[in-house]
Amino acid sequence: MYDHCIISEINTLRKKKNVVILAHYYQRPEVQEIADFVGDSLQLSEQAAATDASIIVFAGVHFMAETAKILSPAKKVLLPDLNAGCSLAESCRPADFRRFIAAHPEHTVISYVNTSAEIKAMTDICCTSSNALKIVESLPVGEKIIFGPDRNLGNYIKTITGREDMQVWDGACHVHEAFSVERLAELKQQRPAAKVVAHPECKKAVLLLADFIGSTAALLHFTQYDKASQYIVVTEPGVIFQMQKASPQKEFIPLPVVTAPSSAFADDCGACNDCQFMKLITLEKIHRALQTEQPEIFVEETIREKAERSIRRMLERSK
Ligand code: 13P
Ligand code: SF4
């Protein structure tokens, strides 16, 4: 079916069934185009908590759809492809994290939303890349903190806050870990007028070369209002679609990656650095999800209740 036929059927179904389509900035451009709302992880969870739609179709990954279900349990939440997981969420298994918490008693547990519902249920306060600093700073100086699962974001926050009492879980996102500082330095030399904008999930050496560090929404905002005309973008390249839309006169240069041949992710992606999980969502799969109202996301109620508390605390402190 051609895209315009699918889009027209998606529009008919979404209206008939009172559906909201939420999409992350890393989604394919054509998916971002049909979404009711496009945003970063924090904005999407705020939308999921506030929507009065009967069905939420999540154009994102599993932990995002699960967060929507945790916040809106009475609504039907659909994830068009259940294989849309997350390497960062996978790097923090519940049994291991439980042991980590037990090994560090009297610590307040802060977890990035890129985690399973089970991890959120063990967490005191969730955070995203756009509010991690605010959440950590909302705790009194000297309070002992466990921060998981992203070591790069955790260590970045630890450095800028000077909080020595922070135990950082050793997890990472394969997309952001793949960016090489050597490749970035080379590109900076080739494009001296370009500013570097980077996501805090990147390694420290990469962040040290950045002119601006922030969540996807913050990077987009920065490139929109900053005076430069060229930017090297060091995050998943899906966000460039909105950057280019907001600033058509500017140039956005994705940082290519050299993927190790042994990596599980060294596939047909080549030099681009797409998140293969995010890119699993297509217009065809959204169309099918609207037709069948499948695949649906469920969260066991005792886990959901505990997970909701940690997400609501985050939303409260992000205002
Ligand atoms: P943000 O949406 O908070 O920028 O996080 C990026 C990410 O990795 C989502 O999967
Ligand atoms: Fe997970 Fe990284 Fe993909 Fe975000 S970009 S969904 S953190 S694997």
CATH of 4-84+278-292, picked from 3.40.50.10800, 3.40.50.2000, 2.40.50.140, 3.40.50.280, is: 3.40.50.10800
Which residue, judged by its Cα, is nearest atom 1 of ligand 2?
Answer: 86
> H or E stretch including 140?
none
Which residues are registered as beta bridge partners of 147?
Answer: 110, 168
Whether the per-residue pLDDT at 15 is higher than 80: the answer is yes
Task: Give the amino acid at 163.
Answer: R
For residue 129, report the distance from its CA to the centre of ligand 1, in Å. 7
Ligand 1 pocket: which of 37, 114, 221, 239 to mutate (most atoms within 8 A of CB) = 114
CB atoms inside a 10 Å sphere around CB 28: 18
Determine how many CB atoms are found less than 10 A away from the CB of residue 21: 23
Q: Are 90 and 277 in contact (CB under 8 A)?
A: no
Q: At what angle do helices 62-71 and 301-317 cross, to 10 degrees?
A: 90
Closest ligand 1 atom, residue 128 Cα: 3
Helix (H), strand (E) at residue 75: none
Beta carbons within 8 Å of 48's beta carbon, 6+ residues apart: 22, 56, 67, 68, 71, 72
> In the chain, which segments carry CATH 3.40.50.10800?
4-84+278-292, 88-172+301-317, 179-271
Class at the top of the CATH hierarchy for domain 179-271: alpha beta
For residue range 102-144, what is the model confidence (pLDDT) as tens digits? 999 999 999 999 999 999 999 999 999 999 999 999 999 999 9
Atom of ligand 2 nearest to the CA of 236: 5
* Minimum-distance ligand 1 atom for the alpha carbon of 130: 3
- The alpha-helical segments, DSSP class H, found in the chain are 3-16, 29-34, 41-50, 62-71, 87-90, 94-103, 117-121, 132-137, 151-161, 174-177, 181-190, 204-207, 216-225, 240-246, 283-292, 301-317
Residue 264 has pLDDT above 80, yes or no: no
Q: pLDDT tens for residues 173-216?
A: 999 999 999 999 999 999 999 999 999 999 999 999 999 999 99
Into which CATH architecture does domain 88-172+301-317 fall?
3-Layer(aba) Sandwich (3.40)
